[in-house]
Amino acid sequence: MHTQDWASSPSVSTAAAASASSSGNSAFTPQLPAPNRIADPNEPSYDQYYRTFGDTEADRQAHEFDDGPLDLHNGHAGRGGTGGGSASDHSDSDDDEHHRVVNTDPTGRFQCWDICLGKGAFKEVYKAFDVEEGIEVAWNQLRTDIISRKDITKVASEVRLLKQLRHDNIINFTDVWTARGPDGRERVYFITELMSSGTLKSFIRKAKGKLKLKVVKNLCRHILRGLAYLHSRTPPIIHRDLKCDNIFINGNNGVAKIGDLGLATIKNKDHISSVVGTPEFLAPELYEERYDERVDIYAFGMCVLELVTKEYPYQECANQAQIWKRVSAGIKPQALAKVADPETRQFIELCIAHDYHQRPSAQQLLDHPFL
C-alpha cells in the first residue's frame, strides 16, 4: 500500500484526484479496499472511554431529524438524522409492555408498534419488531403527501439498492415496500436497524466537558471506515449530507454508524433546494454541482471539528447566505481557532481544504498519523 507522506505537505495529489478533475462531475471509482470490521482489539471500549448518555432512559432521548423540527414524546426538538431509528425513552419502560401493533408489512414479518421515535417534515419513525429474527427494528415511513409519485418510485428504488450494503459502520436497511396508508395515499415504508443511544449529536451534547482525544479518534476511525466502504462501491456512493445528526451510536459498544443514506432524493428543488445538504457541512464545490465523493470528506472534517469543540460550525453566521459566502471564499469556521492541539487542527484542515484535490480519500485518512 502506498503510504502518504503527510509531513511533507498537507495536500494530497493522487491519480484518482486527477481522474476526477478531468471527468467533471462524474464520481470516480477509487481503487480502495472495502473494510468490513468495527475496530482493532486494542481500540478503547465504550465502558473505558465513553461517557454515558444520561442516568435514565429518558435522558437518552435525543434522536433528531434533519428535515424539520421534531415532535418527540419527551419534548426534545432539533435537526438531525433519520437513517436509523433511535431507542427512545420508551425502551425498557412500561410502554413497551402495553404496546399494540398498528401496522404490518405485506409479508407479516415486521410489526409496527404504537411507539413513535420521532416525526419530521418528510418521515416518521416507529419502533417495530422483526418476528423472523426476534429483534426490535426501526419502522420508517415517508410522508408522500408532499412528494411526487416520481420521487416515491425513486426513493423506493434507491432503498432497494441500499439493502445490498453490509458494513459494521453503516446503518443496515432490511426491507422496503410501497403501500397505501390509512389516508389512502401511497407511502414508502422501509426497515432499518434500531440504534440504542441516538445520534453523534446527542453524544456530544450529553458528554460533560470535552471528549477525550481517544474517543474522538475512535469515532473518526468508525466513520472513515463507513465512508471508505461507500466510496469503494461501483459507482461510488456519495452521502452528500453527512453530519453528526445522522451518524448513530450504539451505547453498549460505542460503535458509530452512518445513516440517512438515499433520502436526499426527496429534498429537491421543488421542496427545499436544488443544493442538498446542511449548509454548515456543505463543501464549496457542492454549490456548483460539480463534485465527487470528497464532499463527504469535507463534511467529515466538520464533524470532527464539532466533536472536538462541541460547537456547530459557522455559528458566527446569522443565516445560510452568510455561510455560503464564507464557504465559497474559503473562510474557515471560527471554531477551528479553538482547536488547541496542532495535530488535530492539521487533520481537520486537511479534510476541509477548499480545493477538493487537496482532500485525501477516506482510506488515506485511515492511515493518517492522527489516527
- The set of catalytic residues is 260
At 223 the pLDDT is 98
- pLDDT higher than threshold 90 for residue 242: yes
pLDDT digits 0-9 by tens, 71-87: 323 223 333 334 466 55
Q: Mention every residue, 6+ apart, whose C-beta is less than 8 A from residue 157.
A: none
Distance from C-alpha of 10 to C-alpha of 136, rounded to nearest angstrom: 45
8-state DSSP, 65: B
Q: Are 63 and 86 in contact (CB under 8 A)?
A: yes
Distances (CA, A) of 302 to 84, 143, 172, 244: 21, 30, 24, 9
The greatest distance separating any two alpha carbons of the chain, rounded to the nearest whole angstrom, comes to: 62
Q: CATH fold of 97-194, please?
A: Phosphorylase Kinase; domain 1 (3.30.200)
User: Residue 251, Cβ neighbours under 10 Å: how many?
Assistant: 17
pLDDT digits 0-9 by tens, 102-139: 999 999 999 999 999 877 767 888 999 999 999 999 99
- Mean pLDDT of all residues in 3-29: 39
State whether residue 80 is helix, strand or coil: coil
- pTM attached to this predicted model: 0.72
What are the cell numbers at 113? 408498534
- pLDDT higher than threshold 50 for residue 359: yes
Mean pLDDT of the chain: 75
pLDDT digits 0-9 by tens, 134-171: 999 999 988 766 667 777 788 888 888 888 899 999 99
At 255 the pLDDT is 94
At 248 the pLDDT is 93
Which CATH entry fits the domain spanning 197-370: 1.10.150.240, 2.160.10.10, 3.30.1330.20, 1.10.510.10? 1.10.510.10
What are the cell numbers at 316? 458566527
Distance from C-alpha of 51 to C-alpha of 59, rounded to nearest angstrom: 13
Q: Which regions of 23-134 does DSSP assign to beta strands (E)?
A: 85-86, 101-104, 110-119, 123-130
Picking from 56-65, 108-117, 277-286, which range would have the lowest pLDDT averaged per residue?
A: 56-65
At 336 the pLDDT is 97
The three-point CA angle 225-370-261 to 5° equals 25
Q: Taking the domains of the chain in order of start, what are their residue ranges?
A: 97-194, 197-370
**What CA dihedral angle connects 194, 197, 198 and 203, to 10 degrees?**
-160
